[in-house]
Amino acid sequence: MTLVIIFLCIAVAYYLFQKNKIDRIEKQEYMREKKNEKFEQLLDLARKQDVTRSEAENETKNKQSQN
């Protein structure tokens, strides 16, 4: 009977340890995905700003070449 109780205690402790480990890994993956999404948003914003900046530069060059 004592061995059964010890085995159950070890099994419960192992289960809780594994559950904690899985939760930690899932949280890390979620944070990594969130970080990547923010990075993609920043890249898109930078690309849009580069396009508008290059268009503005082209317009000023065209105006200067026409004069």
63: confidence class by pLDDT, cuts 50, 70, 90: confident
CA 23 to chain centre: 17
pLDDT surpasses 70 at 67: no
> What would the two tokens of residue 21 be?
């480990």
Per-residue pLDDT at 64 = 77
60: confidence class by pLDDT, cuts 50, 70, 90: confident
Question: How far is the CA of 64 from the CAs of 7, 9, 31, in angstroms?
Answer: 85, 82, 49
User: Measured between alpha carbons, how far is 21 from 62 in angstroms, rounded to an integer?
Assistant: 61
pLDDT digits (tens, 9 = 90+) for 1-57: 999 999 999 999 999 999 999 999 999 999 999 999 999 999 999 999 999 998 888
